[in-house]
Amino acid sequence: MNQALLKDNLYQAVNGEWLKTAKIPADHASTGGFMDLNDNIDKQLMADFDDLSAHMDQVNGPLAEFLKLYHLAADFKKRDQDGATPLKPVLERIEHLSNFDELNNELADWIESGLPLPFNFDVDADMKNTSVNALFAGVPSLFLPDKTYYAADNQSAAQLMPIFTQMVQQLLVLADYSGAEAEAIVASAKKFDALIAPNVKSAEESADYSKMYNPRNFAEFAKSTNYLDLTALSQALFNQVPEQVIVTEPKYYDALNDIMNPANFDDMKNWMLVKTINGYSSLLSEEFRQTGSTYGRALSGRKSTTPQKKSAFYLASGVFGQTTGDFYAHKYFGEQAKADVEQMVRNMIAVYKQRLTNNQWLGEATRKKAVLKLDKLELQVGFPDHIDELEYKFKIVPSNQGGSLLTNLDEISRISIQHSFAKLGKPVDRTHWEMSASTVNAYYHPFKNIIVFPAAILQAPFYSLKQSRSQNYGGIGAVIAHEISHAFDNNGSLFDENGNLNNWWTDEDNAHFKQLAQQMIEEFDGIPFAGSKVNGKLTVSENIADAGGLSCAEEAAKNESNYDLYEFFTNWAQVWRTKSTEEYKQLLLNIDVHAPAELRANVQVKNLDDFYDTFNVQVGDGMYLAPDKRVKIW
């Protein structure tokens, strides 16, 4: 560690030597703390599943089905022999459509088949009554990463759209379209994509997710389109016509008749062809897979696509996430670590509760509601009690019985969609995990007021029984407190102790909080990074959570008898060590709600007075921030 640099750049001082030698794997856009742990877990599990495969007669349940799918995905000899054959019936289904009446006749099955449409339905907790599942209407994704790329002067789009165009044309030729046909299809599809772009939200606009709650009477919503019968569709999909639907982006549905109409039908059909062949390319031959990764590699700066075996593992484990997570957790996650982390969480909640109780800028009524929300906060550590029932429904048909990778995944998609839609109007399962236990990450769910820490993140440098308590608080402690802080960030603070979208703030307290949030926006907004600038508005919720998390974790560390703030701060900087391609940095600046890792490490510590004492940071040092500029919210 470069001790002389600590006062000027904590991140570089801690990680500089690593950054000099770290190599980004050819199939990665980045390497570092999170990615390294994920890679190690992937290697562990692939080796474990290779061993298990030699004893298939001893494996049953979802794990056996996972292994079957894994083997099917890894059989590239068969995939190469099949070529485009498994995909052609799907493409033909789209090609045979000639008008909206024909689409209407098969619309429910179309959706259950997972085929693309210019709108979509989802079932999730009603944001104002989170005990019950409600219907949501969402919008389609764009060809480019964000609507901001569609500005006439966007240089990234000028580089990316030709790559996307060429890639899809090549995919269509591989599926036996002529070059001229492929060129015409993609040009037509791009026209339809351009109709969608002005009417959907940007990443910055979507970052305020309370604004996705726009309930509409379903009968009125059905009038969004003159050409599809949404009432008959809902009856077929849900066995009922719901009274209301929550429209995530009203502007889009107000413009739906202008986007989706007979004059644009052929463009829409070609858009669906492009979406389909692009989405299915990773399930076909190696030539399809390599070609289909071209655009993604250009976006991220990856030099090569994922190796075959790893791609097969990712595909199968993506379907059987809880199954593989359950296997990982039972083999590698110990009860001692679970108990220790749960105690850290309780310590952090106690610190947060004391801070809320003693808070000077919240009024009494708001403060009491904040403490109530914290008291009701639920915790899940390690892995769920049981594998989700959905994964027991997946039955894989091997190739020697006529199954292909594509046909199996199509059936899995159908089962998953039907399973989700069947929840409409039924109670929400608040114990359901939305992340595999083998994922190096954590989350706060505002609809459930719950924090979740999968087993995979509970390892060094984030956490280890071999690390000091101060190191652990600077790692997993700050992550834990970050997730707690999400309950009180600019988004989470809009939801009450039960996860309902419900304003529990007085007007005065809310105005003060918005002033503090604006300070956080200004602290990050415009910071130069990777040849561009950070968007403080896009990243504000994560920055508020980082600030509250780091501050809370530091206080919890100081409550330990043998605390060492040098270890605390340096491990905080180490967990964020990241080396990324320039392309990936640019992409994340445009669409990611998190600030760049280096800035997460460096900027937040400047807000903590103890950081200055720990490293003797003075006026003129690179890490110095004047006291009146230090942002303190929680």
Phi, psi torsion values for 452, nearest 5 degrees: -130, 130
**CA gyration radius, the chain:** 25
Beta strands in 358-509 (DSSP E): 378-382, 443-445, 450-454
Phi, psi torsion values for 235, nearest 5 degrees: -65, -40
Q: Residues 146, 483, 523, 583: which is the catalytic one?
A: 483
Residue type at position 184: A
Peptide bond before residue 116 is cis, with ω within 30 degrees of 0: no
- Phi-psi label, residue 616: left if phi above 0, alpha if psi -120 to 50, beta otherwise: left
Helices 478-485 and 565-575: crossing angle in degrees, nearest 10, is 70
11 contacts 573 by C-beta, under 8 angstroms: yes
The neighbouring-strand residues paired with 379 are 451
Q: Write out the DSSP string of 183-205.
A: HHHHHHHHHHHHHHGGGS--HHH
Parallel, antiparallel, or unpaired for β 120-126 and 129-138? antiparallel
How far is Cα of residue 363 from the mean position of the Cα atoms in its chain?
A: 35
Task: State the Cα–Cα distance between residues 592 and 587, nearest whole angstrom.
Answer: 8
Contacts of 611 (CB under 8 A, 6+ apart): 565, 569, 605, 617, 623
125 contacts 429 by C-beta, under 8 angstroms: no
Task: State the Cα–Cα distance between residues 78 and 630, nearest whole angstrom.
Answer: 60
Q: Write out the DSSP string of 382-401.
A: ES-SS--HHHHS-----GGG
Report which secondary-structure segment, H or E, holds 245: strand 244-247
Contacts of 358 (CB under 8 A, 6+ apart): none
Between the alpha carbon of residue 217 and those of residues 239, 258, 260, the distances in Å are 17, 21, 21
108 contacts 425 by C-beta, under 8 angstroms: no
Between the alpha carbon of residue 497 and those of residues 186, 343, 447, 450, 535, the distances in Å are 49, 22, 9, 10, 30
Q: Residues 126, 496, 497, 546: which is the catalytic one?
A: 546
514 contacts 508 by C-beta, under 8 angstroms: no
Task: State the Cα–Cα distance between residues 3 and 13, nearest whole angstrom.
Answer: 7
- Residue 546 is a catalytic residue: yes
- Residue 378 is a catalytic residue: no
- Counting every residue written for the chain, the total comes to 634
Task: State the Cα–Cα distance between residues 129 and 426, nearest whole angstrom.
Answer: 12
Task: State the Cα–Cα distance between residues 2 and 69, nearest whole angstrom.
Answer: 48
Task: List helix spans (H) across 125-199.
Answer: 155-174, 179-196
How far is Cα of residue 367 from the mean position of the Cα atoms in its chain?
A: 31
Active-site residues, by number, are 483, 546
